[in-house]
Amino acid sequence: MTNLRTYGQPPFRTVVVHGGPGAPGYMAPVAKELAATWGVLEPLQTATSIAGQVEELRGIVMENGDPPVRLIGSSWGAMLGFLFAAQHSKLVGKLILIGSGVYEDQYATMIQETRFSRLADGEQREGRALLDTLAHPGIQDKKAALARLGALFTKADAFDPLTLDIEVVDHQYELHQSVWQEAQELRRSGRLLELGKRIQCPVLALHGDYDPHPAEGVQKPLSAVVKDFRFLLLRNCGHLPWIERQARDSFYAILKEALVAGAEFG
């Protein structure tokens, strides 16, 4: 798997960043939609540490993009974009967070149980068994278990989906485990949120009202630390707005308006 796909024509000033961590490829529908107007880079994360992923993204932006770029991150990709903008402020002109993970531990406690509560009984049992498999040190190949758990959570995260095929090209368990453990510690320590004070560009957060990641876990913390921050709640929308029947059109309209050259979020 190469670590970059491109869409549209240069200059490449728009970058879409996937989440997981370890679920590359699912931002492709967004990249394709935007490519009719803008050149788009879709990095596919390969580094197994946060510092490595930030550096990998820096290299892609510098070598293939035309900074400052408009960086659009989804889920973990939103948090990675947040970290990248804090560390490389001159490379990011605008930051858009879609269905971001939460920025303080207090908001994370019920995410998993919310997801399970939305599944049928049999799916709940299967999901918990998959979590046990992923936690078992004696099981070496965990890719299939991660893929199936991801499919269950995609279903739980969606309000009224047009599709549940989100085009993930690989399921990287080792990457997921190492990066997410590091991210949780960064959040737990408060250092994650503190970095927001270093972000210089406008930040727009788009969040579905059905997303199991509570909206206030993004809106409240970031409003307190990011200088130029705007939050929009999308109605009848889950974690991935572009697969949502009722929210897709309004999501793309907002996103494209935010990407218009010279437009501000406020």
Containing structural domain, residue 33? 4-105+160-259
Residues 254 and 180 in one domain: yes
Task: Give the C-alpha separation, 233 to 246, whole Å.
Answer: 13
| pLDDT recorded at residue 265 | 46
Residues 81 and 124 in one domain: no
| pLDDT recorded at residue 102 | 98
Q: Is residue 125 part of a domain?
A: yes
* CB-CB neighbours of 221 under 10 Å: 20
| pLDDT recorded at residue 140 | 81
Q: Is residue 69 part of a domain?
A: yes
Residues 59 and 147 in one domain: no
Which one-letter amino acid corresponds to residue 265? Answer: F
Q: CATH code at 28?
A: 3.40.50.1820
Which one-letter amino acid corresponds to residue 54? Answer: V
Task: Work out how many domains the chain is built from and give that number.
Answer: 2
Domain boundary among 139, 157, 175: 157
The two beta strands, 4-7 and 39-43, are: antiparallel
Where helices occur in the chain by DSSP H, the ranges are: 28-34, 50-64, 76-87, 111-117, 121-135, 143-157, 173-189, 191-194, 216-225, 248-259
Residues 33 and 50 in one domain: yes
Q: Is residue 264 part of a domain?
A: no
Residues 124 and 210 in one domain: no
Residues 150 and 190 in one domain: no
Residues 150 and 230 in one domain: no
For helices 143-157 and 121-135, angle between their N-to-C axes, nearest 10 degrees: 140
* pTM of structure: 0.96
Confirm if 42 and 6 have CB atoms less than 8 A apart: yes
Task: Give the C-alpha separation, 30 to 254, whole Å.
Answer: 13
* One pLDDT digit (tens) per residue for the chain, 266 residues: 589 999 999 999 999 999 999 999 999 999 999 999 999 999 999 999 999 999 999 999 999 999 999 999 999 999 999 999 999 999 999 999 999 999 999 999 999 999 999 999 999 999 999 999 999 988 888 999 999 999 999 999 999 999 999 999 999 999 999 999 999 999 999 999 999 999 999 999 999 999 999 999 999 999 999 999 999 999 999 999 999 999 999 999 999 999 985 544 43
Residues 237 and 209 in one domain: yes
| pLDDT recorded at residue 1 | 55
Residues 121 and 242 in one domain: no
The two beta strands, 12-17 and 69-74, are: parallel
Confirm if 196 and 226 have CB atoms less than 8 A apart: yes
Domain boundary among 96, 124, 157: 157
Q: Is residue 266 part of a domain?
A: no
The two beta strands, 4-7 and 12-17, are: unpaired
- 56 alpha carbon, distance to own chain's centre: 16
Residues 123 and 73 in one domain: no
Q: Is residue 265 part of a domain?
A: no
Residues 77 and 9 in one domain: yes
Q: Is residue 252 part of a domain?
A: yes
